[in-house]
Structure 1
Amino acid sequence: MDKTVLVVDDQIGIRLLLEEVIQQEGYKVELALNGKEALDKITTNKPDLIMLDYKLPIIDGPTLVKELEKDNLIIPTIMMSGLPEKAEDDVQNLKSVKKTIGKPFQLNDIRQLVKNILE
């Protein structure tokens, strides 16, 4: 079965870069530019992993994860943030968040992280 990664970021450059890197690893990629769009996509087609920006328009990263967990949807999530320490404090009680990474990130770290979570 193909594993799907949902990449949620309001910066097009980051979305496209992550899409390319994750597809190279053999996974399907869905893209969303804000938490609302991500929520709509998740209800239609649940991904195996979410790469989620911490600070997003409409619904931010932590709020999106809380909404999903409230509905008992626990999807492994990698939280991305320019302020990783603050993000980590905010999401430490969320079961879905497997890792918080700082931006800018190393592409090899992303490859390894995605692989570790999905395998």
Structure 2
Amino acid sequence: MRRSYTVKKILVVDDQYGIRVLLCEILQKDGYQMHDAANGVQALKIVEKEQPDLVLLDMKIPGMDGLEILKHIKEDHPQINVIMMTAYGELNLINEAMSLGAITHFAKPFDIDDIRAVIKESIDGSKTEAK
């Protein structure tokens, strides 16, 4: 009997096009099904339609900010893991995001291998060896 294998879905939410493209390209090569959104409205539509396993969410997005998006995701889909990304070292916002259910955060510029390791651990439940 063959085990069914489902491709894990990741949503990248960032208003910076370059960050979305970079993360989507790298993570797609790792075997994930990628989705991306430039704002909160797009992000929440994708969450409803695709039910991603993980959301990489920028803290500072014009319109609906990362904390608002995080609240909406966690209210309707508490099982979705959310990793926050921020270019600002605002500890109070990071602490609030963690209290709202984010599993961790990364400061920009980030090390892509660090993000890949945390994603693998949170989605697949397996740790990768640090180099």
TM-score (norm 2): 0.84
Runs of 4+ residues deviating >2 angstroms: 68-71, 84-87
Q: Which secondary structure state, in structure 2, belongs to the residue aligned with residue 40 of structure 1?
A: helix
Q: Residue 102 of structure 1 aligns to which amino acid in structure 2?
A: A
Deviations 1:74-103 (A, max 9, x none): 1100100012434312213112x1111100
Aligned length: 117
Which of 8, 15, 39 is equivalent to 1:34?
39
Alpha-carbon distance in structure 2 between the residues aligned to 1:108 and 1:42: 25
Deviations 1:25-62 (A, max 9, x none): 11010010011110011111110000000011221111
Equivalent position of 2:99 in the other structure: 93
> Which has the larger Rg?
2
Contact 1:81 1:87 in 2 (8 A): no
Alpha-carbon distance in structure 2 between the residues aligned to 1:86 and 1:16: 29
Query: In the alignment, does 2:50 pair up with 1:45?
Result: yes
Equivalent position of 2:128 in the other structure: none
Q: Residue 97 of structure 2 aligns to which amino acid in structure 1?
A: V
TM-score (norm 1): 0.92
Residue 20 of structure 1, CA deviation: 1.1
Identity, % of aligned pairs? 38
Alpha-carbon distance in structure 2 between the residues aligned to 1:105 and 1:87: 18
Q: Which runs of 5+ in 1 are unaligned?
A: none
Residue 65 of structure 1, CA deviation: 1.2
Q: Which runs of 5+ in 2 are unaligned?
A: 1-5, 125-131
Which fold has the larger relative contact order, with Cα–Cα distance below 8 Å and residues 6 or more apart in sequence? 1
> Structure 1 residues 98-107 or 78-87, which shifts more?
78-87
Alpha-carbon distance in structure 2 between the residues aligned to 1:69 and 1:115: 20
